A and B are shown apart, each in its own frame.
Chain A
Amino acid sequence: MLNYFNPSNTLKVINKIQKFIFALFIAVLILGLFEALVLSPEDYKQSDSVRIMYVHVPAAWISLSIFSVISILSFGILIFKNKNFILISKSLAPSGFVFNIIALVTGSIWGKPTWGTWWAWDARITSMLLLAVFYLMFMLSWKIFEDEKKSIKLSSYIAIFGLINVPIIKFSVDWWSTLHQPSSVNVFKETTIHSTMLMPLGIMTAAFALFSILIFLMKYHTELLKIKNKGLDRL
């Protein structure tokens, strides 16, 4: 099973699908932007400022998902010592971090017309800021130590420790009284968002997911080349 994730196999796949993913991302993004900015209706309360949701929410979802994957892979790194999991985690982190920053910045911009403030130490916002700190620590852990073993251990512990923050972000709106409304899109409960808004939200989420896959493939390719360049030096 783990051999399936062999770098030799994945490199072949990367080369084949990278251009396809890029083309698909552009097509879905254009469709998503048209839906979000032109076709979707304004909100009866928030008016057109609700359109910020179409970048803010997908960015938050994707950054949270990426960190969860990194954390789960970190268990794999510590238990199975799988080196490919390390490459995958390292390659996922930059796009996750950028999505996290997008969620924070667009959330802040959305906060001004909605709540009358750019920033509040609300449970959801604070826990998202904490997620950005975990991302930053994870990425810095690869730069701090020259000894790779230390970097692997530290980055894995950071990702696993940061996993505690993921359910806090998700349920912060239910556990505490926050400025954020309870979630409108639910898997197990009824979704309260209208289909005319759910559609552009879904398309933009797909576009963001495709972009994160594209960046992941490019970073993974780069990490693989770095290793192989070292290998050529040793030949």
Chain B
Amino acid sequence: MISEILNMNGYGLYVWSSFVFTLLSFGTLYFVTKIQLNKELRNFQTKFKNLDIEKAEIAKKQEIYRGILSSTSTSKI
């Protein structure tokens, strides 16, 4: 049964390489995107931590910043 699935009537190399290429492309795209997202999140957290109280208050008042902050682990809200 397993060897049949692997062999695919002699087309195994073509079928499996297509599926492996697709899944590898998915994995690469997902991890590259995840790394970029985490980098920007870290940047945001660092910059927000370094804001003085007055500027942090201004940022907190803006809805978009509240949205980002509520999704980060070091939320000040």
Contact = CB atoms under 8 A, between A and B. Distances in A.
Interface residues of A, number: 43
Given A48-B15, A52-B15, A225-B44, A8 B51 contact: no
B43 A218 contact: no
Which of B10, B51, B71 is the most central at the interface, judged by chain A CB atoms within 10 Å of its CB? Answer: B71
Contacts of A52: 14-15, 18
A218 B33 contact: yes
B47 A229 contact: yes
Nearest to A48: B8
Contacts, number: 111
A98 interface: yes
A100 to B, nearest CB: 11
B9 interface: yes
Interface residues of B, number: 38
A109 interface: yes
B47 A232 contact: yes
B11 A47 contact: yes
Contacts of B19: 33, 37, 55
A155 interface: no
Contact of B14 (A8, A94, A113): A113
A59 B59 CA distance: 41
